[in-house]
Amino acid sequence: MIRHEYETIYVTRPDLDEAQQARIDDKLKGIVENGGDLLIFEQWGKRKLAYPIRHVLQGSYQFLHYVAPAELPQELERNMNLEDTLIRYITVRLNENVDAEVARAEALAAVDLRASRLGLNAEDEDGESIGDDDTDDPHSEEG
């Protein structure tokens, strides 16, 4: 079975309680783990959106990085479409026909770079905005 390397970001409403958020996370993680290999799951916390989406100004960002056959992203997106508290998602195919363990090693090596690009370095929970033109984020210069 040919499997590819994908990443999916999904954005949920910022006003969900922990149980609601956990239900969505567990469901989507479960789908990935069932049909493929989940390499990385990250929660980026609440961030300011660059523009209002469905009348909300913040979103809670989650990130999945996985290796799976081509049908899996479709199944994942079908499930994301069913969640009406999930306001945005994007799936990108990163590499074709990969080996899960090789991809996992590369994925783990890329964690820090991603965190610094996103301005996640501070351990504060609500990751602050990344559109740092107009926000004074003292951590944005790190890394």
Minimal distance, residue 74 CB to another protein, in Å:
18
Stretches 16-24, 32-40, 51-59, 67-75: which one binds another protein (CB under 8 A)?
51-59
Distance CA 71, CA 48 (A): 32
Nearer to another protein, 3 or 65 (CB): 65
Locate tokens 């390499």: which residue? 39
Asked whether 137 and 119 are in contact (CB, 8 A), the reply is yes
Binding status of residue 20 toward another protein by CB under 8 A: no
Given 17, 18, 123, 133, the residue binding another protein (CB under 8 A): 133
Minimal distance, residue 137 CB to another protein, in Å:
10
Is residue 16 classed exposed, middle or buried when 0-12, 13-18 and 19+ CB atoms within 10 A define those classes? middle
Binding status of residue 9 toward another protein by CB under 8 A: yes
Residues 84-103 binding another protein (CB under 8 A) are: 88, 90, 92
Number of residues that bind another protein (CB under 8 A): 20
Give the CA angle between residues 54, 46, 127 to the nearest 5°: 145
Nearer to another protein, 47 or 104 (CB): 47
Measured in whole angstroms, the distance separating CA 58 from the mean position of its chain's CA atoms is 15
Residue 64: which of 100, 88, 94, 29 has the closest Cα? 29
Distance CA 42, CA 44 (A): 6
Stretches 13-21, 31-39, 42-50, 75-83: which one binds another protein (CB under 8 A)?
42-50
Residues that bind another protein (CB under 8 A): 9, 11, 47, 49-51, 53, 59, 88, 90, 92, 114, 117-119, 130-133, 140
